[in-house]
Structure formats: structure tokens, C-alpha cells
Amino acid sequence: RATMRGKNEAPHTGTTIVACEYDGGVVLGADTRVSTGIYVSNRASDKMVALNDCSIMCRSGSAADTEALAGYVRHIISQHEMELDERADVKTVATITNQLGYQNKGMNNGAGMSAYTIVGGWDARRGAQVYACTAGGNMIKERWTTDGSGSTYIWGFLDDGWRENMTREECEKFVAKAIALAMSVDGSSGGCIRLNTVDRTGITRTFIQGNDIPPILGELPQSRGRPTLALHGHQGASGGMML
């Protein structure tokens, strides 16, 4: 017998986040769609946050949980840096992120924190680094990684296409294409693409609009400007459709 979804049951959410190392830095990227079940609540959100001057967190899971986690990590890192009078390295930032996430696994009435994150960046001690922080308490150093509902569709693409010593431009194009592929087949991923490139000079942010993303797998291209008027009507003085 079919039953309706319980009122207290969390709706399905989704996203696509990717991080890859290149020769001299790391590129982190994400789509911008925030979905609540079948409803798109935000099509241009920012799923990446700077935890300090050399580290970026990519967020997937619950928007509320991951935003709270990022806020606490930034607070702890700022205190840590003031006490030591030096910038925290990427591994330290990732370790604090992972510990906070795991230590709060009993929140949300025992369901646990819905926070699946990637922390990446560059520091003088270890160079470019990417860490996958799982809800189960694992922190795994990777050369590239992905997470979110869209990640299911692009593991093979990333595994086949990533190579060592890529240039910055090659890595940025690679990450952007991977996210675009996920957006084309995952209904919970979409909108635009945001990139964060981290190297010895700091953090560089890039925004790719939806109509600048080439169509993939038979998608219709997004048009620029105002939509074309229907042939059976004309536009009124107020901008509305007159039939």
C-alpha cells in the first residue's frame, strides 16, 4: 500500500562538488542549484566557503548543517591562527572539519549531521592538497575526489581524465566539464558553475553562467536576453502577454 512521505521526514537534496590537484595548486568546483525535493529553492547559491586564506570547503548534504559546520570551523581556525601567530595549514583545517563533523554525529534527533565535505587548498609545508571528509569520520587525502548526488555519474570521467602535472587552465576546464556532465543527468544538480583555484598566490574565484555552459547529451542551449514571445500574441505596454 502506497503511503505519503511523513511530515518530519527530510526531503531529498542533491549537489555536485569536485576537487582536483594540478601542478602548483588545486581547483575546487560546484554547481549552484539548491533543491528541496523536486523544488529548486535557489539556482545560484555558493556551495564553497573559504575557511582561511589558503583553504576552501566544498559543501554537500544539508545546507543548514554544512553552513553551521563551516561557521564553527572558521571560528576555531581564526582562534588557532591568532594563538600561534601563523596561518593554519590545509591538513589542520581539514582535521578540525572532520572532527567537528564526526563529534556531532548524534545531532538531528540521532539521525546525525548531514555534512559531506571536501577541503582543499595550498600551503608552503605540503603544497596542494585535497581531503575528502566523510560523515563517518574518515579523512582521506586524494589527488582528486567528488561528492554529492551528481558524483555518481562522473566518477568514471574523472578517473579516466585526471592526470598528473596538469596546468591550471587544463585543470579548471577539466573540473568545469565534470560538473557540467553531472548537471546534464542529475536533476538535483544544475544552475551555474563556481570554481575556486588555490595556489601560492591565494584564492581565485571563477563564475560560469548557465548560458555559458555548452549543451551536453542533447540538451537545449540556454538563450540570452528576454524570452521570445509566443506567435499567437503580442507584448503589452507593461511587459505582459496580450492574447
Annotated catalytic sites, by residue? 15
Using CA atoms, how far apart are residues 152 and 108, in angstroms rounded to an integer? 26
Read off φ and ψ for residue 182, nearest 5 degrees. Answer: -65, -40
Using CA atoms, how far apart are residues 19 and 196, in angstroms rounded to an integer? 9
Task: Give the 3-state secondary structure of residue 116.
Answer: strand
End-to-end CA distance of the chain: 46
b/e code 98-117 from CB counts within 10 Å (16+ = b): bebbbebeeeeeeebbbbbb
Q: Which amino acid is present at 87? A: R
Using CA atoms, how far apart are residues 190 and 175, in angstroms rounded to an integer? 15
Read off φ and ψ for residue 190, nearest 5 degrees. Answer: 170, -160
Using CA atoms, how far apart are residues 56 and 199, in angstroms rounded to an integer? 11
Using CA atoms, how far apart are residues 39 and 64, in angstroms rounded to an integer? 17
Answer whether 28's CB lies under 8 Å from 203's CB: no
> Cell for 38?
523536486
